[in-house]
Structure 1
Amino acid sequence: MRFPPSILDDIRNRLPISEVVARKVTWDKRKSQPAKGDFWACCPFHNEKSPSFHCDDRRGIYHCFGCGASGDHFKFLTETEGLSFPEAVERLAETAGVALPRPDPRDREREAVRVDLIGAVEIAAKFFEARLRAPEGRPARDYLTRRSLTPKTVADFRIGWAPDERDALKRHLVQNGVSEEVALAAGLLRKPEDGRPTYDWFRGRVMIPIHDERGRVVAFGGRVLDADQQPKYLNSPETPVFSKGTMLFNAHRGREAAHKSGTITVTEGYMDVIAVWQAGIRNVVAALGTAFTEDHVQRLWRFAPEPVICFDGDKAGVSAAHRAIDRILPLLKSGLSFNFCFLPDGKDPDDLVRGQGADGFLAELARARPLSEVLWDREVAGARIDTPERKAALEARMEDLVRQIRDDRVARRYRLALRVKLSELFWAHDRQGRGGDGRFGKGTGAPGTALAGPTAADIRPPDDPELATVERVLLGLCVEYPDLYEAHIERLAVTEFRVQALEDFKRALYRIAVDLDGTSVASFYEGLDGRFYFVLNEVHGDETRTDFGAVLPRGHRLRERLPILKFHPGQTFVECCFEQMLERLSLRALAADIEHDMANVGAETGEDAVARLMELSRELNRRREELARREQELAEEAKAIRRATTGGNAAAPVLFQ
């Protein structure tokens, strides 16, 4: 339904935006000035300690100076509660006492049909619940007990039982005034093509109601008791109130927890969702037995910027993930992506939480991999790069994938990341062909050159070991988050790294991003100093198998040094960490300049020069104090991210180690 601008303005004028926002935040009494309609709070969209979220009643808008979130009354509800725009308008209109325009007759007719269908489905839901409690429901109750579902969970999800009879539900619907026509339209009955009487769609199945985002039952998923019977799961057919390609199971329950935690997990089936929910993890949904669609992607992004798709680690689960990537890739936007979690040993989430509890499941989610890595693995698995033509073919495939991404900034990020990875892949492959170990080295990288790792002569002793770690983390972040590198590329270029090998790597990365941007990887990768690949692994970390057989994914060295990354913080938080580390290196350079100039102060030094040095010293102290304050805030935000991700079950992360 479309709403005239005058109606929207009327709602905004009658309802101060501070009243809408106050449901989700606590105003800072020191900064807020209610008499002027000026309010400040800690932002509900990202974790912070100092209030940078501003709400202005006079203009009817909110804005966070930390993460950039902004909007009006309606956007606040859509962003914090996952409501659609019409739902937000309806709710605020009711609060403000504004009468909404009546729909045209055709809209009224369609809505009347929807009401009739939803009413019929609700009657069916109550019928199935009653049949589960009846003596005939004993086998279904035993099945649910074997699945470790508690009576409360069964009641919360309104699980029921469809009797194994031809028309038990049909008779019940007729007795309750539901016509055969409505029951057919609601997907509750089937009509044989040979003209025989209609019969129940679901028979002899455990019934799991499917709700829309307003919490109304609109369809069902039916599960057989005998695992050998096919189909194991049966969904309601498409109806005017139910679309498998747009809806998510448990969305009406999971969206609030998703907004609070900043993440949401997508599993493959209903029982997975129910088991995970029962274990206390509430931000979980499932697709409805169909391939991922654009609507699914957009709906999930309304709940969280980087949903985690949790599939079985078997061949079918990996194939499903690859199909999902193809659907997601063109839709990627700055700050919006997906992560993928593949469960081990053929287990599904239901198995995992029953065997290891919520902690075991959360531990697997913490190992989720970004979409970009899963895409890379898919493309290079089994790829042959033993000739220049095959190298070029792989590079062309990668470029074709990048071109599918509609967001230019995201496309540039992927292009830079893939160029670095391709360079490393080609070099390692050719190094093996020349009899080397295929990985680290030093030298020109020219064919036939004997390469070895960096020596002590390559590394200038750092004056501060912690800042040497900062240098490594910064470069690791440049590889992991190429858009951060691109945004700060000029500042990085003028920031001197004290570890010579890291400084050389930084310069080589600049060449790949700028000087060699229009050149194919196959034509330049051998021209890079072999130390580039050693440092790439040292600051970021290749996929590695340990002595115990465990696999460390790409980026493991970065996550070891910056543990908060294991908890999938948002891009805004990561960028704040990045900028703080740049500031630390900048302050080191400023302190060195001041120390040098102070050492040269003599009787002949003019008053202006001395005054300038004193001013620089005060500026250095001020920036150091601000850096310390902001780092403390980041540490508090890191704790909040950890609590939101694990429910408080993991050790508090530190920013550096």
Structure 2
Amino acid sequence: MSLTPAFLDELRARTSLSALVGKTVKLTRAGREMKGCCPFHNEKTPSFYVNDDKGFYHCFGCSAHGDAIRWMTDHQGLPFIDAVKELAAAAGLDMPEQDARAAQRAERAKSLHDVMQAAADFFTQQLGGIEGAAARALLERRGVSAATTQAFGFGYSPDSRGRLRAALKDFGDAMLVEAGLLIQVEGKEPYDRFRGRLMIPIRDPRGRVIAFGGRIIGEGEPKYLNSPDTPLFDKGRTLYNLERAAPAARKADRLFVVEGYMDAIALAQGGVGEVVAPLGTALTEHQLERLWRVVDVPILCLDGDGAGQKAAIRAAHRALPMLAPGRSLAFVTLPDGEDPDDLMRAKGKPAFEALVREAEPLVDRLWKHELAAEPLTTPEQRAGLKRRLSDLAGSIADPAVKSEYQAEFRHRFDEQFARTRQPFQQRQPFYPIGQRRSEQRGPGQKWTPPLPPVTEDARRLRAAGGIDPILSKAVVAGLLRHPAEIARHMEVLGSLKLADGALGRVFEAVVDVALADTRAAPLDSGRLVTILAQSGFDTIAHDLLRADAMPYSFTRADADAKQAREDLDEAIAILVTRPEVDAALAEATSAMMERFTDEAFQRQVALVNEQRALDQRLANLVQANEDARALGLEDD
């Protein structure tokens, strides 16, 4: 079939747009146009106009715009070709000729629709009969009213292998098998797929039955059984209740996604009609696209248990590559152990609406999930979080949305972990003394901030991969003198990479000994050195223990034990934190050189000051040691 521009123009010309729209929207005359309240968003003052002369509608409130075909696809939820067929039939236009194969497929699909409707009628009839008593009792226990039962077309499949087959014998076994109603096993008679189940029709956007979901009445597995994929039904492209939910969603400007049929039905019965459900699988890309055709931000409202929340995060990850400006997801978290069906029956619509008001944006759900994924006490773990966030943002195809997510994740990371660093005393802007920012450029020159000077200490740290080798040596010496401290800092020390060479090897050996030593008695310095000597580290271990020349209390044999342990704790904190601050400063400086902003500059200033604060803390350790030595000499 070829739908030429000329045919579509003729179709639009023969269609009265105001009459078409007026079937569902109350319109009044406004000059040469018609106006009414927009069906695509909730409004009280009319801002929706229909112009028959120009053949389009337009809303000045939400910018909805289109012609007759667009009205059928966006408001009625029809696929394009079905929209054209329906308008052509109403206008008395013959559709362009199909080729023989396409005509055969269309006729076959029409026949399958007839089969499915006949099956739905049969199941509905059985629900009202004697054999349907157990199914009716189940509906009553679930709080499903008679009106809801009728509206959603509930039925019952008898517990028999051939009742449906016999009732629909005029269609023939081949068609019943193709429709997914019979199971065909080679060499055996076909038999009914659904037996002894409460039947729930699944419909396409036009309201036609295309499949069924069957819930078991008593005990057994599977609890829910869906039709297989057929020429009419593709479960990865279908959303349950979309034919009812789409018009309600456009009016309410929201659309909920729940886990199963009964959740959707319970919400609809409780007054929340804008709700759909996938069909036993995680949300697919096709289903997400269908949701976004109805509203910009569908709200996922999955069960409050672990499985429901895992499904939510899977949907979040699947949606990321498809995000676009204004197009996203939101999430409602139910109390643990509850689903929407439980909530509506126990507490009603007000309780559900209260949860909806607390709905989380997609970015919040992703951030919280990654933040809780693993401990974040070490630099390596925080670097892992940063990498995961970067990967998530990087999966977004739209460059504008990707940039926003990258910036948002970076901001949240900095804000979250700035609080974990040791506070510093001053954060003065990094300008030469006596010179203001405005004075740092001549007439017509673009101002650029001064970069932090590269000191000899900085060069030394950079050469050692960010770890201060002098402080590293002092820390290893302190651990040899106070081996009980190894266990207290095991998580940090086990992943800390010191400078290469003998010092790095002895550090690893010290940690390995502490991990392997399982005796009840505390590991003391003498036994630690003895074990190290057996591994060939006797010389360097004794040299470190003679390191009284180092300017720290924890390397001295005569230091106060309590003060030495406290100073060792502080030294380890500085050793771990300094590379992190240096790396952040390098990143901030690079970002600022690419694009200067005041925010980037203030970030750089804060990190420079934080470096200075760490330097001051280290200097305080040296001064405390000198003071202690002086006091010791005076005591002597």
- TM-score (norm: length of structure 2): 0.65
Partner of 1:327: 318
Q: How does 1:148-547 map to 2 (within 5 A)?
A: 148-174=143-169, 177-193=170-186, 195-226=187-218, 228-430=219-421, 434=422, 444=427, 515=596, 526=607
Over 3 Å counting, the alpha-carbon distance change for 1:214 and 1:386 in structure 2 is: same
Q: How many Å separate the matches in 1 of 2:85 and 2:236?
A: 25
Residue-by-residue CA offset, 1:363-388 (whole Å, 9 max, x unaligned): 22222211111111122213444444
Over 3 Å counting, the alpha-carbon distance change for 1:383 and 1:166 in structure 2 is: same
Q: How many Å separate the matches in 2 of 1:354 and 1:311?
A: 16
Over 3 Å counting, the alpha-carbon distance change for 1:512 and 1:391 in structure 2 is: farther
Residue-by-residue CA offset, 1:453-494 (whole Å, 9 max, x unaligned): xxxxxxxxxxxxxxxxxxxxxxxxxxxxxxxxxxxxxxxxxx
Q: Secondary structure in 1 aligned to 2:212?
A: strand
Residue-by-residue CA offset, 1:96-140 (whole Å, 9 max, x unaligned): 333221322111111121122222222221221122111121111
Higher Rg of the two aligned structures: 2
Contact kept, 8 Å, 2:41 with 2:250, in 1: the verdict is no
Over 3 Å counting, the alpha-carbon distance change for 1:421 and 1:517 in structure 2 is: farther
Choose 355-364 or 60-69, whichever is displaced more. Answer: 60-69
Deviation at 1:18, TM superposition (A): 4.2
Contact kept, 8 Å, 2:28 with 2:35, in 1: the verdict is yes
Choose 11-20 or 260-269, whichever is displaced more. Answer: 11-20
Contact kept, 8 Å, 2:592 with 2:601, in 1: the verdict is no
Deviation at 1:10, TM superposition (A): 0.5
Residue-by-residue CA offset, 1:599-627 (whole Å, 9 max, x unaligned): xxxxxxxxxxxxxxxxxxxxxxxxxxxxx
Over 3 Å counting, the alpha-carbon distance change for 1:442 and 1:97 in structure 2 is: farther
Q: Secondary structure in 2 aligned to 1:76?
A: helix
Contact kept, 8 Å, 1:445 with 1:527, in 2: the verdict is no
Residue-by-residue CA offset, 1:542-600 (whole Å, 9 max, x unaligned): xxxxxxxxxxxxxxxxxxxxxxxxxxxxxxxxxxxxxxxxxxxxxxxxxxxxxxxxxxx
Over 3 Å counting, the alpha-carbon distance change for 1:514 and 1:65 in structure 2 is: farther
Deviation at 1:223, TM superposition (A): 0.6
Residue-by-residue CA offset, 1:140-168 (whole Å, 9 max, x unaligned): 11111111111221122111111112212
Query: What letter matches 2:307 in structure 1?
Result: A
Query: What letter matches 2:118 in structure 1?
Result: I
Query: What letter matches 2:67 in structure 1?
Result: D
Choose 402-411 or 72-81, whichever is displaced more. Answer: 72-81
Over 3 Å counting, the alpha-carbon distance change for 1:289 and 1:334 in structure 2 is: same
Q: How many Å separate the matches in 2 of 1:144 and 1:528?
A: 68
Q: How many Å separate the matches in 2 of 1:241 and 1:421?
A: 47
Q: How many Å separate the matches in 2 of 1:253 and 1:219?
A: 16
Partner of 1:488: none
Contact kept, 8 Å, 2:184 with 2:191, in 1: the verdict is yes
Q: How many Å separate the matches in 2 of 1:143 and 1:266?
A: 24
Q: Which has the higher contact order (CA 8 A, sep 6+)?
A: 1
Q: Secondary structure in 2 aligned to 1:242?
A: coil
Query: What letter matches 1:316 in structure 2?
Result: A
Over 3 Å counting, the alpha-carbon distance change for 1:118 and 1:391 in structure 2 is: same
Contact kept, 8 Å, 1:209 with 1:219, in 2: the verdict is yes
Partner of 1:147: 142
What is the aligned length?
449
Contact kept, 8 Å, 2:77 with 2:243, in 1: the verdict is no
Query: What letter matches 1:271 in structure 2?
Result: M
Q: How many Å separate the matches in 2 of 1:153 and 1:263?
A: 22
Q: How does 1:528-607 map to 2 (within 5 A)?
A: none
Over 3 Å counting, the alpha-carbon distance change for 1:75 and 1:128 in structure 2 is: same
Q: Secondary structure in 2 aligned to 1:138?
A: helix
Unaligned runs of 5+ in 1: 447-509, 530-657
Choose 134-143 or 63-72, whichever is displaced more. Answer: 63-72
Contact kept, 8 Å, 2:330 with 2:359, in 1: the verdict is yes
Q: How many Å separate the matches in 2 of 1:155 and 1:306?
A: 31
Partner of 2:535: none
Contact kept, 8 Å, 1:114 with 1:241, in 2: the verdict is yes
Q: How many Å separate the matches in 2 of 1:232 and 1:369?
A: 31
Q: How many Å separate the matches in 1 of 2:341 and 2:108?
A: 37
Q: Secondary structure in 1 aligned to 2:117?
A: helix
Contact kept, 8 Å, 2:156 with 2:198, in 1: the verdict is yes
Contact kept, 8 Å, 2:41 with 2:251, in 1: the verdict is no
Partner of 2:31: 33
Q: Secondary structure in 2 aligned to 1:218?
A: strand
Residue-by-residue CA offset, 1:227-260 (whole Å, 9 max, x unaligned): x411100001110011100111111111111111
Deviation at 1:83, TM superposition (A): 2.4
Deviation at 1:320, TM superposition (A): 0.5
Partner of 1:8: 8
Q: How many Å separate the matches in 1 of 2:349 and 2:593?
A: 44
Q: How many Å separate the matches in 1 of 2:408 and 2:133?
A: 57
Partner of 1:100: 95
Residue-by-residue CA offset, 1:202-248 (whole Å, 9 max, x unaligned): 1111111111111111111111122x411100001110011100111
Q: How many Å separate the matches in 2 of 1:135 and 1:24?
A: 40
Q: How many Å separate the matches in 1 of 2:23 and 2:235?
A: 33
Q: How many Å separate the matches in 1 of 2:606 and 2:80?
A: 50
Contact kept, 8 Å, 1:246 with 1:295, in 2: the verdict is yes
Query: What letter matches 1:118 in structure 2?
Result: H
Contact kept, 8 Å, 1:423 with 1:522, in 2: the verdict is no
Contact kept, 8 Å, 1:392 with 1:522, in 2: the verdict is no
Unaligned runs of 5+ in 2: 430-590, 611-636
Q: How many Å separate the matches in 2 of 1:266 and 1:168?
A: 35
Q: How many Å separate the matches in 1 of 2:252 and 2:594?
A: 35
Contact kept, 8 Å, 2:34 with 2:50, in 1: the verdict is yes
Deviation at 1:40, TM superposition (A): 5.5
Q: Does 1:136 align with 2:131?
A: yes
Q: How many Å separate the matches in 1 of 2:225 and 2:606?
A: 53
Contact kept, 8 Å, 1:205 with 1:222, in 2: the verdict is yes
Q: Does 1:81 align with 2:76?
A: yes
Contact kept, 8 Å, 1:388 with 1:522, in 2: the verdict is no
Q: How many Å separate the matches in 1 of 2:397 and 2:428?
A: 36
Partner of 1:607: none
Q: Secondary structure in 2 aligned to 1:214?
A: coil
Deviation at 1:86, TM superposition (A): 1.9
Q: Secondary structure in 2 aligned to 1:187?
A: coil
Deviation at 1:361, TM superposition (A): 1.9
Query: What letter matches 2:7 in structure 1?
Result: I
- TM-score (norm: length of structure 1): 0.63
Q: Secondary structure in 2 aligned to 1:111?
A: helix
